[in-house]
Chains A and B, each alone.
Chain A
Amino acid sequence: MNVLEVRDLSIELMTTAGIIRAVDGVSFSIEAGQTVTIIGESGSGKSTTAMGLLRLLPEDLAVISGHAILSGVDVVTQAKAFAKLRGRAVALIPQDAMTALSPVHTIGKQLGQAVLRKGPLPKPALRERSVELLTQVRIPRPEDQLGKYPHQLSGGMLQRVLIAMALAADPVLLVADEPTSALDVTVQAGILDLLMELQERTKVAILMITHDLGVARLISDTIHVMKDGRFVESGEVEQIVAQPETDYSRKLLAAVPRLGRWDGENEVVAQPREAVDLEAVDLEAVNGVNP
């Protein structure tokens, strides 16, 4: 049973340089309990796809076409009905935890608002539910955190608060837009582990947007490699990483610095990386020089 079904989605953006087709006819679906990842470099259209699916792009500057069915509602054609699903059936985990929260309201207040999207609750029950959510995302001493302001928490803890807010209304789909890109690797590991644990327990579907092949390999079931608004390659995670079929995917993998396998004590396997062929594809041209 698909939680999200996207067919031939295109998004055109109006910019000062003219109209750009940022997303060019992509189709994919996500089942409950599955993580589908869109991976790509800057300007590939991966974040535009995510923001378009959440209808978070400015309506007057972005033209969306195609179909995207979530909980029986077409995100593209039924904007009003979809507005009721956002923050409920589907929630966003944004990249920059520091700016995603209001600096002048407490964690408890902001988390409470997310909980209330599901329906009214008396104060004690609201507090209880908030504590429960913070416990779920493994924030220590949750009661103490409710009265704090965002600047009093570290980036990793704020990201956990945002995950708690996203989970507040029991969504069927989480859209995670580079949720760990701004974090240190040890903090990132904790967040990824948390997302995997929550998914095991609640069967929430995750649409992950990332530029990091390591992150994609770890948490995905399916990967779509995006470039210039299109999926250049799609498939199961093991197959895409072990046997990429297109030149672009191969190049992307070849560019990742190798660390080899490690058993927690010693190196297990260290394979040297193939030399990057700098001439074959002009990736800088692909990524675009600012006009």
Chain B
Amino acid sequence: MSQSPEPDLVLSVKNLVVDYAVHGGTFRAVDDVSFDIPRGATVAIVGESGCGKSTIAKAIVRLLKPASGAIVLNGQDIAQMPARTLRPLRSKVQMVFQDPYGSLDPHLTAEDIVGEPIGLRGVRSAKDRRAEAARLLDQVGLPASARGRRPSEFSGGQRQRIGIARALASRPDLLVCDEATSALDVSVQAQVLQLLADIQQQSGLTYLMISHNLGVVRENSSTVVVMSRGQVVEQGPTEQVINAPRMPYTRALRAAALDPLAIVGRKPREVVSRLNKIEFLEDPTLLEDAS
């Protein structure tokens, strides 16, 4: 028996395996991945293209059905749950997508985009839906004039704010942010991340943040899962993993991530050539593109 009380987990992923069908076989995109997300925390998955991080996000919101393993949401395993049983649980996990231009219906106004999930929640009166949508758009920092405008009339950062308001409209327990700020300018990214932090502080919302950016992960998560080629390389408290990475892959990521204020001297090649000493990068299979 454990001494400490059971932690309150919003989500627990256990031995998750996701396969994609490729011509004449399967490609194992996620290979035996396990991690927990405590309520109110921000857990980050960090890794490079093709490591399986977005596939995990899609499996968690059940846009994909895993080959095996468990996805335990609020105590219920949803990994293989049939669509009908799953439906009422879907609102509990919401996603903010990477592409601010492709993830909003261009025909709808901001108010309609945010109002739709409010309707799905059972709010029947159009007046109540509009009032709730207005409150959410206000919460994500958009002016009242934004309500009647369509996606094309907004900047990338503003669109992400609408995406966040839409996700909040379902009153989720977990928000999955899949590279939610990667397409934004750095100043706009900082504003959107600040907004997410404010929302968490006010409401205690739980986040799973998928990112390739070690700096973003460091400043915004308490726990980090480092992935490469479908597997977990290293996981633990963010500060510990980033300050003293144990595994060669994590060290390579850390060495390659450039923090302008941490670079000393003019054109210091040792900053990046340190990478050449890390043996896995000389792996000849890296020459061939997997995609």
Chain A residues in the interface with B (C-beta under 8 A): 35, 41-42, 140, 151-157, 184-186, 188-190, 192-193, 196-197, 211-221, 237-238, 241-242, 251-262, 264-267, 269-271, 273, 276, 278, 283-284, 287-290
Given the interface contacts A155-B289, A267-B243, A284-B157, does A218 sit within 8 Å of B256 by beta carbon? no
User: A273 CA to B263 CA in the complex, in Å?
Assistant: 15
* Contact status B258-A184, CB under 8 Å: no
Closest-by-CB residue of B relative to A219 is: B267
In this assembly, does B219 line the interface, its C-beta being within 8 Å of a C-beta of chain A? yes
Closest-by-CB residue of A relative to B281 is: A186
Given the interface contacts A211-B186, A257-B213, A284-B157, does A185 sit within 8 Å of B266 by beta carbon? no
* Contact status A152-B289, CB under 8 Å: yes
Chain B residues, Cβ within 8 Å of A218: 258, 263, 267-268, 271-272
Determine which of A216, A237, A270 lies in contact with B243 in the assembled complex, contact meaning CB atoms within 8 Å.
Answer: A270
Q: How far is the CB of B290 from chain A (nearest CB, A)?
A: 8
Closest-by-CB residue of B relative to A140 is: B287
* Contact status A283-B188, CB under 8 Å: yes
Determine which of B49, B156, B272, B288 lies in contact with A193 in the assembled complex, contact meaning CB atoms within 8 Å.
Answer: B272
Given the interface contacts A217-B258, A284-B158, does A257 sit within 8 Å of B253 by beta carbon? no
Given the interface contacts A157-B287, A259-B242, A260-B259, does A42 sit within 8 Å of B271 by beta carbon? no
Binds A, one of B11-19, B88-96, B147-155, B168-176: B147-155
* Contact status A192-B215, CB under 8 Å: no
Chain A residues, Cβ within 8 Å of B6: none
B159-201 vs A, CB cutoff 8 Å, 1 = contact: the mask equals 0000000000000000000000000011111110010000000
In this assembly, does B135 line the interface, its C-beta being within 8 Å of a C-beta of chain A? no
Given the interface contacts A257-B215, A267-B244, does A185 sit within 8 Å of B256 by beta carbon? yes
User: A253 CA to B190 CA in the complex, in Å?
Assistant: 11
Chain A residues, Cβ within 8 Å of B64: none
Given the interface contacts A266-B243, A284-B157, does A197 sit within 8 Å of B269 by beta carbon? yes
Q: How far is the CB of B10 from chain A (nearest CB, A)?
A: 25
A-B contact sample (17 more), CB < 8 A, given A241-B261, A259-B257: A41-B187, A42-B156, A152-B288, A185-B257, A186-B48, A193-B272, A196-B269, A214-B260, A214-B263, A219-B267, A255-B186, A255-B189, A261-B259, A261-B262, A264-B255, A276-B187, A283-B185
> By DSSP majority rule, is chain B's interface helix, strand, loop, or mixed?
helix
Chain B residues, Cβ within 8 Å of A264: 251, 255, 274
Chain A residues, Cβ within 8 Å of B213: 257
* Contact status A189-B267, CB under 8 Å: no
Given the interface contacts A258-B218, A264-B251, does A186 sit within 8 Å of B275 by beta carbon? yes
Q: List 20 A-B contacts (CB under 8 A).
A: A42-B156, A154-B286, A155-B289, A185-B212, A185-B214, A186-B256, A190-B275, A196-B269, A197-B269, A219-B267, A221-B266, A259-B259, A260-B243, A267-B242, A278-B194, A283-B187, A284-B155, A284-B158, A287-B188, A289-B155
